[in-house]
Structure 1
Amino acid sequence: MNDTSRPKAATLKDLAREAGVSLTSASYAINGTGSVGPKTRAHILDVAKRIGFRLNLNARAMKAGRSGMLALIIPDLGNPFFAALVQAVFREARGAGYQIYMMNTEGSEALEAEALATAAGLRVDGVVWFSIRDKDTSAGVLANIPTVVLDRAIPGYDTVTIDYVAAGRMAGQYLWDHGHRRIGIIAGPLDITAMRDRCAGVESIFAGRGEIVFNLENAFSTDLEPGVKAALAARRATAIFAAADLIAIGAMRHVQDQGMVVPRELSIIGFDDIDLAGLTQPPLTTIELPIEEIARNAVSTLVARIGGKDRDTVKTVLGTTVIRRASVTDLRA
């Protein structure tokens, strides 16, 4: 009978023997630590590739008393922004030697609390948490687990966020510099500090010198509330600040269905720079959220905390920029 069993994976001892080096040198080369010359390290890594040696991250983590796993908690995988963020966090975590257990809370606080309890039960080394709101739903289960909160104002945790007031001002100034003096604002859910801040930034640009024709709230969705549709139909604003790209895309689609030409009759600027923003007709001008930078800072902050650095909570505030496309016209021309 033929032996159809799976070939045994190459071990560190196999690697040392094949490379003609000590077990210690093989370990140093693979882990990027210790004292080993660059040529010897390159030779060992070449041999590792040839014999199919792969570092067992789980075994290494268990030896260090860790799981080698991080939890990623997000509120809405159906939103393209979060899908892109998940990919970025996965890449950063892999680069740091961690696997990711991802949970989607679907905008439910009950599911969020359950997800956090599950993460604690899995004994993950750390948690990257994009909370639904500025609310701690953990019920204390994260007390001894390094945690980084993204984009939300929840005291007691390391945080990575954006200067949303400055970002909103950037959007407002862009519209002002293009000759717009009467604008409408379509906010996302206003129970989130980041949302209130970005809208406040826009408002500050027009305060006392322009007119905010309407300031309304909408879900993070392309589906618009009746009040928003009515405000758009009135055609009093020359430009719209939509505080999320999904809302901007919904607004663009709606006014185009009503026969309006974007940007000639109505300019629209969004916020997030999701992939779909470049695919609308016309392509959407928007404020970029630096997803790769958010993920990089979140994982590096978490790894430092897991490494035992005793420090006060860290708040990392990132900047952003305008992505100029074709959905805003210049009224000065």
Structure 2
Amino acid sequence: MADESRPVKRITLKDVAKAADVSLASASYAINGTGSLGSEVRAHILKIAADLGYRQNLSARAVRTGRTGTLGLILPDFANPFFTGLAQAVMRRARADRHYVVIADTEGDVRLEQQAIASLIERGVDGLVWFPVRDLDTATPPPELPTVIMDRRAVGLSLILADYTGGGRQAAAHLMARGHRKVGIVSGPMSLNSMTERCQGFRSGLSADAECVFHVETGFSDDLEPAVGAAIDNRSVTAIFAGTDQIALAVVRRAARSGLRVPEDLSIIGFGDAPWVGTSAPALTTVEMPIEDMANEAVDRLLQRDPGAPARVVFDTSLIVRESTRALP
């Protein structure tokens, strides 16, 4: 009868090298995706490792290399599907480089944000992708922790941004080309530089004979401020520019409660192109932020062994025309 209490022997890198009849160095190169190996040799080693059930000892690797193979990702609101899409993009790129991602949701709370940073540092993450709750006056993480900021303004850290001003102009040009001259803005908090730039770009893109009848702020939520409902009920505009897709779809729902059809009575355009807005009813016209490219850049910058001085990388936006806007007769 077998002794079930006997511990199972862990397969080591030496076991893989012996079974594959290669040197320990070659086995290490294959497992870690490094070194100069032929494709057939590398494939052979990886197959042997899989057959043996080899698993890397990440704790040992961390002691040996000073790197844990993990990255931290801090997001302000994981309930927002936009951030779900961003998280998936970050994880895909990190996984391609054999890194894993630890996600922290701060629920829009600065206190939880600081706790998340401290917790990820304690866990020894190799770098941090951070979408802060608000713009930053100082660099909060310690300088020895590589950190990339997304969407927000920060001092002394690398920034990954979209051309928010250009995106606002694209939204305005789209509405102007379709004959809208009485328009409104429903923005997120204007305390954020990225939101301010979107709205400034939109205003600057209006034609001389167009008027921005109202500009109302609301939170990043499905529940709009009462002032938004009042502005919609006035029926004084034919189109609304929303600061985010989430706000745009909340405006669509609020318009329906006022008996307004989108786009027949009111055109609405969002910002972001979150993964789900193409299947909303109606499908949302929006300004696309290239989230996949932005996530790839953030992760690539963290994985560089010598990232150099903090950088500011700005990605172009593009207009995605769907069903929520129409040309006036």
Note the alpha carbon deviations across 1:123-166, whole angstroms, 9 max, x for none: 3221111111112576x542321111111111100111111001
Aligned-pair CA distance for 1:107: 1.0
Q: Quick one: distance in 2 between partners of 1:110 and 1:26?
A: 45
Note the alpha carbon deviations across 1:224-244, whole angstroms, 9 max, x for none: 211111111111111111111
Q: Quick one: distance in 1 between partners of 2:220 and 2:33?
A: 44
Work out the percentage of aligned pairs sharing the same amino acid. Answer: 45
Structure 2 match to 1:328: 325
Structure 2 match to 1:226: 226
Structure 2 match to 1:254: 254
Q: Quick one: distance in 1 between partners of 2:198 and 2:59?
A: 42
Aligned-pair CA distance for 1:175: 1.1
Q: Quick one: distance in 2 between partners of 1:141 and 1:274?
A: 28
SS for the counterpart of 1:275 is: coil
Structure 2 match to 1:26: 27
Aligned-pair CA distance for 1:6: 6.4
The TM-score, its normalising length taken from structure 1, stands at 0.92
Q: Quick one: distance in 2 between partners of 1:290 and 1:249?
A: 20
Which residue, out of 313, 317, 325, partners 1:316? 313
1:239-318 to 2 correspondence within 5 Å? 239-304=239-304, 307-309=305-307, 311-318=308-315
Seen in structure 2, the aligned counterparts of structure 1 residues 180 and 6 have a Cα distance that, compared at 3 Å, is farther
Aligned-pair CA distance for 1:215: 0.9
Seen in structure 2, the aligned counterparts of structure 1 residues 105 and 162 have a Cα distance that, compared at 3 Å, is same
Contact 1:57 1:97 in 2 (8 A): no
The TM-score, its normalising length taken from structure 2, stands at 0.93
Q: Quick one: distance in 1 between partners of 2:182 and 2:12?
A: 68
Seen in structure 2, the aligned counterparts of structure 1 residues 95 and 281 have a Cα distance that, compared at 3 Å, is same
Quick check: 1:113 aligned with 2:114? yes
Q: Which runs of 5+ in 1 are unaligned?
A: none
Paired residues, number: 328
Contact 1:183 1:241 in 2 (8 A): yes
Contact 2:134 2:192 in 1 (8 A): yes
Aligned-pair CA distance for 1:283: 1.0
Structure 2 match to 1:35: 36
Q: Quick one: distance in 1 between partners of 2:247 and 2:7?
A: 52
Q: Quick one: distance in 2 between partners of 1:200 and 1:25?
A: 57
Indicate the larger mover: 11-20 or 222-231.
11-20
SS for the counterpart of 2:276 is: helix
Contact 2:167 2:287 in 1 (8 A): yes
Q: Quick one: distance in 2 between partners of 1:48 and 1:67?
A: 21
Contact 1:134 1:154 in 2 (8 A): yes
Letter in 2 for 1:28: Y
SS for the counterpart of 2:248 is: helix
Note the alpha carbon deviations across 1:183-227, whole angstroms, 9 max, x for none: 111010110000000111110011533111111101111212111
Contact 2:282 2:324 in 1 (8 A): yes
Q: Quick one: distance in 2 between partners of 1:286 and 1:202?
A: 13
Letter in 1 for 2:288: E
Contact 1:283 1:327 in 2 (8 A): yes
Aligned-pair CA distance for 1:57: 4.1
Structure 1 match to 2:236: 236
Contact 1:186 1:247 in 2 (8 A): yes
Moved over 3 A (4+): 1-9, 54-58
Aligned-pair CA distance for 1:54: 3.3
Contact 1:112 1:137 in 2 (8 A): no
Contact 2:13 2:27 in 1 (8 A): yes
Contact 2:184 2:240 in 1 (8 A): yes
Aligned-pair CA distance for 1:276: 3.1
Q: Quick one: distance in 1 between partners of 2:189 and 2:246?
A: 13
Contact 1:109 1:137 in 2 (8 A): no
Structure 2 match to 1:170: 170
Aligned-pair CA distance for 1:322: 1.5
